[in-house]
């Protein structure tokens, strides 16, 4: 592999792992809502980082949302 190929490969790998600046990461305690198959779920954020958001849902269950993959919104 030539030096230019290594640099191009390295640059594309970095770009894949950088998070887009427009992604919103909620804070612990924020209320969030997600709509899955027509059902609206609301809950409170227990943990959040640039990869996942752990939510305790109002129905007593909990699950993780993937930042950038799952569609959710922070409630006011």
Give all strands (DSSP E) within the chain, no chain letters: 31-36, 39-48, 52-57, 62-66, 72-74
What tokens appear for 5 in the block? Answer: 């190929």
CA distance 37 to 72: 13
| Structure confidence by residue, pLDDT tens digits, 10-62 | 554 554 445 454 678 999 999 999 988 888 999 999 999 999 999 999 999 99
pTM given for the model: 0.68
**Domains (range + CATH), the chain:** 21-74 (2.30.30)
Q: In 3D, which of 41, 38, 34 has the Cα closest to residue 72? A: 34
More reliable by pLDDT, 45 or 9? 45
Phi, psi at 25, each rounded to 5°: -105, 115
């Amino acid at each position: 592999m030539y030096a230019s190929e290594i640099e191009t490969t390295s640059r594309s790998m970095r770009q894949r792992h950088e998070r887009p600046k427009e992604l919103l990461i909620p804070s612990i305690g924020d209320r969030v809502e997600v709509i899955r198959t027509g059902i609206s779920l609301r809950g409170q954020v227990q943990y959040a980082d640039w990869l996942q958001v752990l939510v305790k849902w109002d129905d007593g269950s909990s699950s993780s949302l993937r930042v950038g993959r799952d569609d959710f919104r922070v409630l006011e």
